[in-house]
């Protein structure tokens, strides 16, 4: 165990250091790629033990700021490991970005999604995993931009996602991506009526269609729902819904905004949880 770097980073994590402090420490430490990968594993193992202890009956709920600080250290390390750590860097960047709040952490959230998009965009031809994180990060950044800065700022992001779907996807996958855009940014769909199904057609179909989940969304649920500690609150950005995990197999609805789009998100998440084997209780 390379204890000094691990201990130094654990100290930074424990006091929730600013993300630039991790970069400064790693610049000075000048670790090899092998050392950084080993430290990543050591940090993961140490935090897994801590979180498992907290998640036992009578234990305290895992502090979300501890998770964010751990992920900040992890992405700082993995960003320096090249191809060897790139896949883990992508996932860690995603996990970190979605955990920052839309209030105090908004600026950092924006920068993380933007960095993830830029990196995966340059790697789309090599890695299917890059496509996964590119499209999802682009959708999240477009949603955030739309909400906080308005349509004019969000339009280029929605256009980039639409053009990628048209150029690189086919069949149900392409239609699924376009449906997500039209649901999240109906104003953009109206501006591009030649690409998207008209609003009237969608309204006619609402009463007869059932929620269809793509395999990647189901895979995401199967992977992430079990890792959420009991007591954790989950509020997907821009969805207008909020849930709490009340047992290992049960979630409870805490809040749903009185808006058609929020109702659609709730219907989709309900089907996702049922598909993944979870019970969802009404508020």
Of 210 and 21, which is predicted with more confidence? Answer: 21
Q: Which residues does 271 contact at the CB level (< 8 Å), separation at least 6?
A: 211, 213
From the CB of residue 255, how many other CB atoms can be counted at a distance below 10 Å? 14
* Dihedral over Cα of 179, 181, 186, 188: its sign: negative
Three-state SS for 55? coil
Q: Which residues does 116 contact at the CB level (< 8 Å), separation at least 6?
A: 90, 93, 94, 97, 133, 134, 137
pLDDT of residue 194: 82
Please tell me the distance from the alpha carbon of residue 174 to that of residue 165, in angstroms, as a whole number.
Answer: 6
Q: Are 51 and 230 in contact (CB under 8 A)?
A: no
Give residue 1's pLDDT band: very low, low, confident or very high (50, 70, 90).
very low
Inform me whether the pLDDT recorded for 198 exceeds 50: no
pLDDT of residue 216: 84
Please tell me the distance from the alpha carbon of residue 252 to that of residue 264, in angstroms, as a whole number.
Answer: 17
* Poorest-pLDDT segment among 10-24, 39-53, 261-275: 39-53
Domain extents in the chain: 212-283
**pLDDT one-digit tens code per residue, 153-166:** 999 999 999 999 99
Residue 169 exposed, middle or buried by CB count within 10 Å (0-12, 13-18, 19+): middle
Please state, in angstroms and as integers, the Cα–Cα distance from residue 17 to each residue in 9, 23, 73, 137, following that order: 10, 11, 9, 25
Residue 270 exposed, middle or buried by CB count within 10 Å (0-12, 13-18, 19+): middle
* Dihedral over Cα of 85, 90, 91, 94: its sign: positive
Give residue 203's pLDDT band: very low, low, confident or very high (50, 70, 90).
very low
- What are the helix and strand counts (H, E) for the chain? 13, 4
Q: What is the DSSP string of 152-209?
A: HHHHHHHHHHHHHHHHH--HHHHHHHHHHHHHH-HHHHHHTTTTSPPHHHHHHHHTT-
- Name the pTM for this structure: 0.67
Structure tokens at 86: 């790139």
**Token pair 């992430």 is at which residue?**
224
């Amino acid at each position: 165990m390379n204890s000094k770097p691990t201990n130094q980073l654990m100290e930074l994590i424990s006091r929730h250091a600013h993300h630039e402090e991790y970069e400064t420490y790693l610049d000075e430490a000048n670790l090899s790629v092998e050392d950084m990968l080993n430290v990543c594993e050591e940090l993961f193992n140490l935090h897994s033990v801590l979180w498992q202890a907290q998640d036992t009956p009578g234990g305290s709920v895992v502090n979300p700021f501890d998770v964010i600080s751990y992920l900040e250290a992890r992405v700082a390390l993995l960003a320096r490991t090249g191809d060897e750590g790139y896949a883990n860097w992508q996932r860690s960047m995603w996990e970190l970005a979605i955990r920052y709040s839309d209030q105090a952490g908004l600026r950092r959230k924006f920068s993380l999604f933007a960095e993830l998009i830029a990196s995966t965009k340059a790697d789309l031809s090599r890695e299917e995993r890059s496509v996964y994180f590119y499209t999802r990060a682009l959708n999240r950044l477009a949603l955030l931009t739309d909400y906080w800065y308005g349509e004019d700022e969000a339009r280029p992001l929605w256009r980039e996602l639409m053009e990628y779907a048209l150029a690189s996807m086919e069949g149900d996958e392409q239609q699924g991506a376009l449906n997500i855009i039209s649901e999240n940014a109906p104003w953009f769909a109206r501006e591009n009526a030649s690409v998207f199904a008209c609003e009237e057609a969608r309204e006619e179909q609402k009463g007869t269609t059932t929620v269809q989940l793509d395999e990647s969304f189901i895979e995401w649920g199967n992977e992430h729902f079990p890792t959420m500690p009991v007591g954790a609150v989950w509020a997907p950005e821009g969805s207008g819904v909020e849930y709490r995990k009340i047992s290992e197999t049960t979630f409870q609805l805490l809040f749903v905004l009185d808006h058609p789009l929020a109702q659609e998100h709730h219907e989709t998440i309900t089907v996702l949880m049922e598909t993944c084997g979870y019970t969802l209780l009404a508020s």
